């Protein structure tokens, strides 16, 4: 999680050799719907009838290395042919001058981030893969052992992952290297093989790898620490009968290549066949021209071959459109995995145990954007009142209580918050508000908690429950000691047409006492009550009165007795059609201070029960 840091964004537009290109009207902004998506729009001009490629880079303001991963991009403009998501974008020169927008899923690439004062820059290149240089290389430490070889390469969130194979035990493991300093992380064992592995690829946080001679595609589960086969049957397609060599994810589908030139695209949900390509030239002088490591970048599928050539493949046209010979600079003696980090192509030489970083572009022009922000972290909330986890926060009935909380977020202004209790909304507030005066329910014995739903200006939202609280009797109410306790039961609960209310009245000395039953909504409004005083002789067979409609409110709800006799009675409450669904409180009381009508009676003995009404 990174706070209050500056990030610089650059888009890479790669044109033909010496083409005169220009970028203008650059706008970058994050959506305000909580999706964590960033919209990047611009216009481009190129004098030549060429193809432009777009990619995005990022760095923090206090760094000079463009290593922050910004690779999950989608094309969002319908005029252009490319409709599937990828790690780059290409458009022909005849679209010059039209506004182009791409969507960046920064949550997938960066994880949790909250920062302000981001700057973007679009970078144009006047040459497309016409030259390259070895930008960096390193010997992976595991290969210092003579029986260990490096094979696959993958890239995820600023880390280059290398796959290793032990030639005696046939154990396979992966190790991440932080970019740009290439600090190694802990190794993770992913399985064993019969002969050898070939390559790895990340599809988001999912890790896929291939087993060479057994022609198996596997997925590693980071939670269980185990791998399982997801595809081993290749439908008898030409070129799939020997040596599965590489794998790469294009943002939507997983590509697998075979040494003899077969390329297969799979759906990552069920691993069904999506697309195929076949380039038989890869198998003419096998193994010299065999397909090996696979990577996806700039809207192209890159295949690094044993003939020391990086092939750029247009998967829409099923054709090889670029060939970058690398043998004059670095001659591989055993090319295997490949990975794209958003700017550079990384390849591994398993024979030497070296990984090489190939810089393919030069002749740079820069175009700056205006500042913008990134934030996919919801506000953080700490409750002040109530705050006790053990019901020790007690509010008096009929009192006014101020709820208090603290909220933290760089982009809190412009958001909103809502305070809820059970199923009901108490208030709507601005996200910068941190207090609310609540008139407590007239429900002694009621226990519950509040929930604060809060959102910042980018739509990042979260829900924070408060500690529990309890409501006690209002002050100044006298008590008369009576034996036993009054209890109340309601069923069914929730209900949708009528509910039974059963009272259990304690046994006493036989003297008559008044009894009252009332129904309250969540705002403390009495919606039903007994219209005639009912006296029950404690300890004697009770005479149960009828709860009729409330003449003070005009309500048509009716209580009807289910039985008579015993130490109490049962009633049926049929809510009026005008009453909404929600939480209601059934409150029964008896004793000398009991009042009649909707006057929030407070008898000597009080029992309450919540009931949920669902229309």
Query: What's the CATH number where 170 sits?
Result: 2.130.10.10
In 361-430, at which residue ranges do the beta strands (DSSP E only) sit?
364-368, 372-375, 380-385, 394-396, 400-408, 416-421, 424-430
Among 350, 374, 398, where does a domain finish? 374
Among 349, 374, 399, where does a domain finish? 374
Q: Same structural domain for residues 272 and 170?
A: yes
Q: Categorize the per-residue pLDDT at 548 as very low, low, confident or very high, splitting at 50, 70 and 90.
A: very low
Cβ–Cβ < 8 Å for 410, 486: no
| Token reading at 491 | 């069923």
Query: What's the CATH number where 517 sits?
Result: 2.60.40.2550
The predicted pLDDT at position 434 comes to 92
Q: Tell me the mean pLDDT in the region 474-482.
A: 41
Cβ–Cβ < 8 Å for 568, 503: yes
What is the number of residues in the chain?
Answer: 615
Flag whether pLDDT at 547 surpasses 50: no
CA 209 to the chain's CA centroid: 25
Q: Categorize the per-residue pLDDT at 485 as very low, low, confident or very high, splitting at 50, 70 and 90.
A: low
- In a domain? residue 477: no
- In a domain? residue 480: no
The CA distance from 396 to 406, in Å, is 24
Q: Categorize the per-residue pLDDT at 445 as very low, low, confident or very high, splitting at 50, 70 and 90.
A: confident
Flag whether pLDDT at 525 surpasses 50: yes
Flag whether pLDDT at 318 surpasses 80: yes
**91-100, 145-154, 192-201: which has the minimum mean pLDDT?**
91-100
Q: Mean pLDDT across the chain, nearest whole number?
A: 74
Q: Categorize the per-residue pLDDT at 488 as very low, low, confident or very high, splitting at 50, 70 and 90.
A: confident
The CA distance from 383 to 386, in Å, is 7
Could you tell me which residues come within 8 angstroms of residue 177 by beta carbon, excluding any fewer than 6 positions away? 140, 159, 160, 161, 162, 183, 184, 185
Q: Nearest CA to 9 among 409, 342, 411, 362?
A: 342
Q: Same structural domain for residues 188 and 321?
A: yes
At 345-389, the pLDDT tens digits run 898 887 788 888 887 655 456 666 666 778 889 999 999 988 766
Q: Tell me the mean pLDDT in the region 452-457.
A: 93
Q: Categorize the per-residue pLDDT at 54 as very low, low, confident or very high, splitting at 50, 70 and 90.
A: low
Among 427, 442, 472, where does a domain finish? 472
Q: Same structural domain for residues 465 and 524?
A: no
The CA distance from 568 to 590, in Å, is 11
CA 537 to the chain's CA centroid: 62
Alpha helices in 322-390 (DSSP H): none
- In a domain? residue 117: yes
Q: Same structural domain for residues 203 and 294?
A: yes
At 252-275, the pLDDT tens digits run 889 999 988 899 999 999 999 999
Cβ–Cβ < 8 Å for 208, 255: no
Cβ–Cβ < 8 Å for 127, 361: yes
At 416-442, the pLDDT tens digits run 999 998 767 888 999 999 999 888 877
- CA angle in degrees (0–180, nearest 5) for 387-392-396: 100
DSSP string, 47-88: SSS-EEEE-EEEEETT-----B----EEE--TTSS--S-BSS
Flag whether pLDDT at 563 surpasses 50: no
The predicted pLDDT at position 456 comes to 92
Secondary structure class of 504 (helix, strand, coil) = strand
Q: Same structural domain for residues 58 and 162?
A: no
Q: Same structural domain for residues 422 and 301?
A: no
The partner residues of 37 in beta bridges, in order of sequence, read 105
The predicted pLDDT at position 368 comes to 64
Sheet containing 309-314: give its strands across. Answer: 291-297, 300-305, 309-314, 319-325
Flag whether pLDDT at 562 surpasses 60: no
Q: Same structural domain for residues 202 and 335?
A: yes
Flag whether pLDDT at 554 surpasses 70: no
Q: Categorize the per-residue pLDDT at 590 as very low, low, confident or very high, splitting at 50, 70 and 90.
A: low
Q: What percent of the chain has pLDDT over 70?
A: 64
The CA distance from 39 to 445, in Å, is 52
Could you tell me which residues come within 8 angstroms of residue 565 by beta carbon, excluding any fewer than 6 positions away? 541, 542
The predicted pLDDT at position 172 comes to 96
Query: What's the CATH number where 444 sits?
Result: 2.60.40.10
Q: Same structural domain for residues 175 and 297?
A: yes
Q: Nearest CA to 376 among 38, 69, 63, 27?
A: 38
At 67-88, the pLDDT tens digits run 666 666 666 543 444 444 444 4
Please tell me the total count of domains within the chain: 4
Q: Same structural domain for residues 216 and 323?
A: yes
Q: Same structural domain for residues 521 and 396?
A: no
Name, of 401-415, 500-514, 600-614, the range with top average pLDDT: 401-415
- In a domain? residue 233: yes
Q: Same structural domain for residues 164 and 111?
A: no
Q: Same structural domain for residues 115 and 140?
A: no
| Token reading at 250 | 């294009």
How big is the chain by its Cα radius of gyration, in Å? Answer: 35
Q: Categorize the per-residue pLDDT at 39 as very low, low, confident or very high, splitting at 50, 70 and 90.
A: confident
The partner residues of 609 in beta bridges, in order of sequence, read 586
Could you tell me which residues come within 8 angstroms of residue 539 by beta carbon, excluding any fewer than 6 positions away? 507, 508, 509, 510
The predicted pLDDT at position 90 comes to 55
- In a domain? residue 478: no
Q: What range defines the domain where residue 171 resides?
A: 133-360
- In a domain? residue 481: no
- In a domain? residue 325: yes
- In a domain? residue 482: no
């Amino acid at each position: 999680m990174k706070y209050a840091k500056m990030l610089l964004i650059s888009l890479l537009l790669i044109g033909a050799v010496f083409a005169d290109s220009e970028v203008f009207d650059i706008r970058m902004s994050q959506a305000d719907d909580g999706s964590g998506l960033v919209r990047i729009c611009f216009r481009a001009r190129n004098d030549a009838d060429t193809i432009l490629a777009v990619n995005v880079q990022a760095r923090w303001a206090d760094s000079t290395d463009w290593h922050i991963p910004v690779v999950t991009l989608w094309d969002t403009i319908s005029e252009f042919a490319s409709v599937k998501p990828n790690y780059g974008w290409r458009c022909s020169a005849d679209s010059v001058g039209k506004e182009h927008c791409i969507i960046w899923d920064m949550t997938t690439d960066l994880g949790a981030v909250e920062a302000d004062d981001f700057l973007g820059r679009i970078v144009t290149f006047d040459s497309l893969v016409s030259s390259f240089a070895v930008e960096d290389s390193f010997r992976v430490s595991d290969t210092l052992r003579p029986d260990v070889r490096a094979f696959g390469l993958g890239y995820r969130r600023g880390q280059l992952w290398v796959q290793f194979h032990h030639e005696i035990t046939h154990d396979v493991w992966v190790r991440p290297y932080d970019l740009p300093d290439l600090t190694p992380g802990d190794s993770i064992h992913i399985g064993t093989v019969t002969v050898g592995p070939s390559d790895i690829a990340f599809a988001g946080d999912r890790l896929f790898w291939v087993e060479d001679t057994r022609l198996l595609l596997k997925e590693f589960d980071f939670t269980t620490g185990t791998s399982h086969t997801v595809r081993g049957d290749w439908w008898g397609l030409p070129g799939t009968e020997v040596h599965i060599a590489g794998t790469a994810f294009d943002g939507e589908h997983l590509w697998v290549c075979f040494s003899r030139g077969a390329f297969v695209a799979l759906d990552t949900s069920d691993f069904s066949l999506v697309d195929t390509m076949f380039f038989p030239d890869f198998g003419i002088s096998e193994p010299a021209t065999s397909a090996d490591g696979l990577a996806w970048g700039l809207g192209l599928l890159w295949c690094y071959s044993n003939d020391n050539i990086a092939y750029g493949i247009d998967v829409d046209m099923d054709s090889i459109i670029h060939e970058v010979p690398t043998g004059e600079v670095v001659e591989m003696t055993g090319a295997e995995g490949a990975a794209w980090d958003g700017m550079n192509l990384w390849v591994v030489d398993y024979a030497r145990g070296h990984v090489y970083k190939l810089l393919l572009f030069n002749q740079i022009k820069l175009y700056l954007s205006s500042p913008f922000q990134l934030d996919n972290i919801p506000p953080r909330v700490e409750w002040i009142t109530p705050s006790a986890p053990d019901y020790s926060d007690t509010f008096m009935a009929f009192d006014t209580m101020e709820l208090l909380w603290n909220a933290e977020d760089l982009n809190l202004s412009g958001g909103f918050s809502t305070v809820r209790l059970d199923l009901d909304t108490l208030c709507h507030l601005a996200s910068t508000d941190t207090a609310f005066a609540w008139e407590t329910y007239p429900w002694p014995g009621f226990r519950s908690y509040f929930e604060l739903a809060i959102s910042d200006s980018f739509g990042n939202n979260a829900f924070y429950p408060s500690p529990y609280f309890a409501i006690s009797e209002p002050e100044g109410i006298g008590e008369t000691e009576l034996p036993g306790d009054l209890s109340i039961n309601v069923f069914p609960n929730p209900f949708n047409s009528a509910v039974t209310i059963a009272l259990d009245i304690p046994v006493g000395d036989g003297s008559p006492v008044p009894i009252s039953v009332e129904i309250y909504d969540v705002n403390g409004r009495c919606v039903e009550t007994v219209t005639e005083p009912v006296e029950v002789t404690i300890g004697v067979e009770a005479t149960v009165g009828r709860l009729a409609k409330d003449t003070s409110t005009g309500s048509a709800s009716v209580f009807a007795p289910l039985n008579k006799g015993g130490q109490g009675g049962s009633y049926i409450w049929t809510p009026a059609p005008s009453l909404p669904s929600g939480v209601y409180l059934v409150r029964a009381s008896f004793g000398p201070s009991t009042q009649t009508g909707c006057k929030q009676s407070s008898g000597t003995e009080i029992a309450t029960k919540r009931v949920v009404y669902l229309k």
